[in-house]
Structure 1
Amino acid sequence: MLVLARESRGWKQGDVARAMKDLDGAASKVSQAYVSRAESGKLTVGGDRLDLYANALLYPRELLVLDRGEVGAGAGLIHHRRKQAVAAPELRRIHAVLNLTRLQLTGLFNGVPRSIDLKIPQITVDDLFSPEEAADAVRAEWGISGGPLDSVVSILEAAGGLVLARSLVPPAPLDSGNESVPVDAVSSCTPGDDPIVLLNAGTPGDRQRFTLAHELGHMVMHAVPHPDQEKQANRFAAQLLMPARNIRSAFQGTVNLTLLMTLKEKWRVSMWALLRRAHTLGEISDWQYRTLAVEMTSLGYRTTEPNSLDPEKPAAVRAAVDWRLDHGHDVDSLASVTLLRPEEFTHLYLDSTSTLPISSIAAEVSHE
């Protein structure tokens, strides 16, 4: 838990040691070697030293003494929608944030009434059953008719999923001309736990629905990691959002930017996603795809597309917070059950305008 708490802040062992020394005074004997030995279990941290550790990391001491087995998914069960390899320390921070968020939500939802109408199916894809067929099976099982989905967030939440926005990495421009993108989200769907999706704060609304459908694809298809899982999740998302049998006819006339803008408003996905879909379905040639891609790039559509889409708003987590507030809980008690300090709970769960990364919140709280 000492490692997890540190990594969630994006800190190195030396950063923890310096924070502890600042609190302990000039005569402090805390060093990076002490932090290393504590994290490796070579010495026991208790009493006043545990309080010092907790104050340095800006977490309640109750978090630091949890059994590691209470913290859910390992790295193999965490999925990302990302473009290139993220630096290892950043990836560890993102995983730590996800794991601590799972602990927070477990405490928050304990005793809160919920209505879960759907179940996320587990489907194995192979040479005989494609990601597209998996997406069709999900639509059929959930009773979703053909055509655009009203809300991806809503169906995820109806299936027990919990969606939150967190600052994972600095948000990137749209850049939807590529098959994959920088870290837009991280998710996990471990047995016995609620499925969780952390959306990267600042992700363009034009890309959000595809990102959420991509993460749902991981939950459905990848209980066991697969070497082609990113491509499979993209294929699943494209079919879920733009079923071939419903959208194919839209591409059988002249496919140009005017048509893509019109279809964007109807299907609520980016023009780039629509262009790739037309190409994947064989409704435009390689030459047409490249020509339109060059035209869109020249107009700056890799950064910002016209007719931007508004992001969908998750509701389940905030509804749980509001229910607890309406039933006699205050910020201090909610911070306690989520294993956070009141200031950080307020930033993460009550301040809807906050997009600060946890490390920045920690620094701000420390300064205060």
Structure 2
Amino acid sequence: MTNATFNASLLLLARQYRRASQGEVAAKAGLNQGHYSRIENGLLPDGPSHENVERIAAALQFPSTFFYQTDGLTGLPLSVHPMHRKRAAVGERVLKQIHAELNIRLIHLRRYLRAADLHPELPLPHVDVDEGGGPQEIAHLIRRAWSIPEGPIANLTDYCERAGILIIWCDLEKGIDGVTMRVRDLPPCIFLNRSVPPDRMRASLAHELGHVIMHRIPTENIEDEANAFAAELMVPERQFRRQFIGRAGISLEWLALQKAHWKMSMAFLLYRAGAIDAITRHQSEYAWKKIASMGWRLREPHETDFPYEEPSIFPALLRMHSETLGFDLETIGRLVSCDVGELQQMYRPYLGRGKPGLYVVK
């Protein structure tokens, strides 16, 4: 790496990923904190010495090659789902760590995509909310553009992938269900928290899809707009109203049946019923109290779960490196400048141990 240039922004990224302070990293690396700060801020005209980079890399448990990559950083996503008002509860250091991890994953993704060509088969338009007639109309547009039949969407993940969106499961912080990242040189990426139940994951994916289609700059309304898009996309009002014909009220048993039909949570469906005035305020309040008394606000009964919609494109991309190209984990680690243990943690269970091979650029 003697001819490579040290990338100070990646040092900041690595430190935030480890949730460490400058002082902690400097102490582990045996450096003066002031000197370390100048390294991280790119204030050394000739860059840090190779010896100091090695010491910092060891302190942060990153390969030293990571810091000589040319990748730039992408800013915080438009939103960290759920809503903005809940982000404060997550904590600034945690948000920085999430931001760092997503950037590291994007760096890896660039390397993985060198060996693949992705050709979307469905359109993925960008539609301004006002120009498109509002989130509900845009949801109708997407259903038409993707030829989605009436009724429940069988597999939203499949539709998104066919439109060129990469769906990636990862371990996000508790309370954050999904994050959208849009970068000029990469396909749109939606990162979903693998630990949430399937009903919440589907709702989060629909919400994040709303961001991909409708939003380019943050506004105070983007979360409400994404929620409205998701509601109409997954449970169209006109079709949902048919379920109430001849009904005097609703019960938890009826909500459970609707959950099995629409593949959305009972809470989502109850909220939807109240939002379109399909039930009275009294009926809504009574049902919410029943759900709360059963302890279902945080987790609905496992008996009502349906299977996860597992992504296929990104796992196939990983398996192509380990199985088709025959890379072992050490080779993949060198490709993306990542420790083998970190790779296993980040990309379980899709990376196997193939035979060492050459990196083939398609």
- Please state which band the TM-score falls in when normalised by the shorter chain: 0.7 to 0.9
Instruction: Verify the 8 A CA contact 1:112 1:324 in the aligned structure 2.
Output: no
TM-score w.r.t. length of structure 2: 0.86
Runs of 4+ with >3 A deviation: 350-353
Give the Cα separation in 2 of the matches to 1:140 and 1:72: 36
Give the Cα separation in 1 of the matches to 2:123 and 2:131: 25
Change (3 A) 1:155 1:127: closer
Offset, 1:128: 6.9
Counterpart residue number, 1:267: 262
Matches within 5 A, 1:182-221: 182-221=175-214
Compare 308-317 and 4-13 and name the one that shifted more. Answer: 308-317
Offset, 1:147: 1.1
Counterpart residue number, 1:102: 106
Instruction: Verify the 8 A CA contact 2:211 2:222 in the aligned structure 1.
Output: yes
Q: Deviations over 1:310-356 (max 9, x none)?
A: 33212222211211222232222212222212221122224369xxx
Matches within 5 A, 1:52-91: 52-67=55-70, 70-75=71-76, 77-83=77-83, 84=86, 85=88, 86-91=90-95
Change (3 A) 1:282 1:300: same
Matches within 5 A, 1:127-138: 129-138=133-142
Offset, 1:40: 1.4
Offset, 1:131: 0.5
1:314 aligns with 2:317: no
What is the number of equivalent residue pairs in this alignment? 331
Counterpart residue number, 2:330: 332
Letter in 2 for 1:256: S
1:10 aligns with 2:34: no
Give the Cα separation in 2 of the matches to 1:74 and 1:349: 23
Unaligned runs of 5+ in 2: 1-9, 352-362
1:41 aligns with 2:42: yes
Give the Cα separation in 1 of the matches to 2:306 and 2:25: 41
Q: Deviations over 1:58-110 (max 9, x none)?
A: 2222221233xx335322x4422125123111111111111111111111121
Give the Cα separation in 2 of the matches to 1:127 and 1:56: 51
Instruction: Verify the 8 A CA contact 2:129 2:138 in the aligned structure 1.
Output: yes
Unaligned runs of 5+ in 1: 22-29, 171-181, 354-368
Instruction: Verify the 8 A CA contact 1:78 1:95 in the aligned structure 2.
Output: no
Counterpart residue number, 1:280: 275
Instruction: Verify the 8 A CA contact 1:206 1:269 in the aligned structure 2.
Output: yes
Counterpart residue number, 2:320: 323
Matches within 5 A, 1:128-277: 129-170=133-174, 182-252=175-245, 253=247, 254-277=249-272
Instruction: Verify the 8 A CA contact 2:164 2:187 in the aligned structure 1.
Output: yes
1:199 partner SS: strand
Give the Cα separation in 2 of the matches to 1:339 and 1:160: 26
Offset, 1:249: 0.9
Q: Determine what percentage of the aligned residue pairs are the same residue.
A: 30
Give the Cα separation in 2 of the matches to 1:320 and 1:352: 9
1:120 partner SS: coil
Q: Which has the higher contact order (CA 8 A, sep 6+)?
A: 1
